[in-house]
């Protein structure tokens, strides 16, 4: 289990979700860069594009994202692992069919999340995005949790990613196609949200690949910087 400080309290909270529900294609400019050359429709999604990440992905600040050795065995022409800077919503209480107007009552707080993605698996697997999104260590989270009461307006936060200090992604949560309340209402129509579950709300444009030896950062205004090194697995 990952333990993260709850900002301003001196307390820590355990991050142990029963599920991590991620939202694909939730920023307009990222939809544009994602459709080029891939089997995706070029229109904006008419409802949230949901996929799962499994809890084995979670690592804390400073822990290494490990690119698994098995990828070498596929001899992909362009083997590619990308980071995705995302605002993570941490659910605070159980809910099903949560009305949009009450959605924030179900939020404990927010933190930074890196939706690390192995693209070859993601786009080639006929079973979908599962394997490419749920490899061990492919979900850094942190560095702190900021409570719902302390975040201000969560739809007005700048977010960034950097690789080795160079800015790659830059966006604002105002640009989400589906807002946080809409996501919570939509998701909870399908699945009961449990206390501790995570929603990764999508990523802005500027996706760039990671390589062993890199250091990747996800920064969100009002939360902080989540920084993780990247390693190749040695077996």
Show the tokens assigned to 219.
Answer: 């920064």
> CB of 138: closest distance to Mg ion in angstroms?
11
- CA–CA dist 94, 202 (Å, integer): 22
Stretch in the footprint of Mg ion (CB under 5 A) among 50-58, 122-130, 195-203, 225-233: 195-203
> CB of 53: closest distance to Mg ion in angstroms?
9
Looking at the Cβ atoms of 84 and 219, the one nearer to Mg ion is 84
Q: Does 115 bind Mg ion (CB under 5 A)?
A: yes
Angle at 206 between CA 200 and CA 210, to 5 degrees: 80
Site for Mg ion, residues 84 to 103, rule: CB under 5 A: 84
Q: Does 219 bind Mg ion (CB under 5 A)?
A: no
> CB of 45: closest distance to Mg ion in angstroms?
13
Task: Provide the Cα torsion 138, 215, 164, 71; round to 10°.
Answer: -50
Stretch in the footprint of Mg ion (CB under 5 A) among 11-19, 25-33, 108-116, 223-231: 108-116
Cis? peptide before 143, omega within 30° of 0 = yes
> CB of 117: closest distance to Mg ion in angstroms?
7
- CA–CA dist 108, 148 (Å, integer): 6
Residue from 137, 173, 203, 228 that binds Mg ion (CB under 5 A)? 203
Longest dimension (CA), the chain: 50
Stretch in the footprint of Mg ion (CB under 5 A) among 119-127, 140-148, 179-187, 203-211: 203-211
Looking at the Cβ atoms of 115 and 219, the one nearer to Mg ion is 115
Q: Tell me which residue has its CB nearest to Mg ion.
A: 115
Site for Mg ion, residues 25 to 84, rule: CB under 5 A: 84
Q: Interface with Mg ion by CB under 5 A: which residues? A: 84, 115, 203
């Amino acid at each position: 289990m990952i333990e993260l400080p709850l900002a301003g309290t001196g307390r820590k909270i355990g991050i142990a979700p029963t599920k991590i529900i991620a939202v694909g294609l939730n920023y307009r400019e990222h939809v544009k860069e994602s459709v080029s050359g891939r089997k995706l429709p070029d229109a904006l999604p008419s409802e949230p594009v949901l996929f799962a990440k499994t809890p084995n992905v979670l690592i804390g600040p400073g822990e290494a994202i490990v690119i698994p050795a098995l990828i070498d065995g596929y001899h992909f022409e362009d083997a590619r692992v990308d980071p995705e800077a995302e605002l993570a919503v941490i659910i605070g209480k159980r809910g099903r069919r949560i009305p949009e107007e009450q959605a924030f009552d179900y939020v404990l707080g927010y933190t930074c999340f890196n939706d690390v993605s192995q693209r070859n698996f993601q786009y080639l697997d006929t079973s979908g995005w599962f394997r490419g999104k749920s490899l061990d260590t492919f979900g850094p989270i942190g560095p702190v949790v900021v409570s719902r009461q302390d975040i201000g307006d969560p739809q007005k936060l700048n977010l960034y990613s950097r690789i080795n200090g160079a800015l790659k992604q830059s966006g604002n949560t105002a640009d989400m196609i589906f807002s946080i309340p809409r996501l919570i209402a939509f998701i909870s129509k399908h699945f009961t949200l449990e206390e501790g579950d995570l929603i990764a709300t999508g990523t802005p444009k500027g996706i760039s690949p990671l390589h062993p030896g890199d250091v990747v950062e996800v920064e969100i205004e009002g939360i902080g910087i989540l920084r993780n090194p990247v390693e190749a697995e040695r077996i």
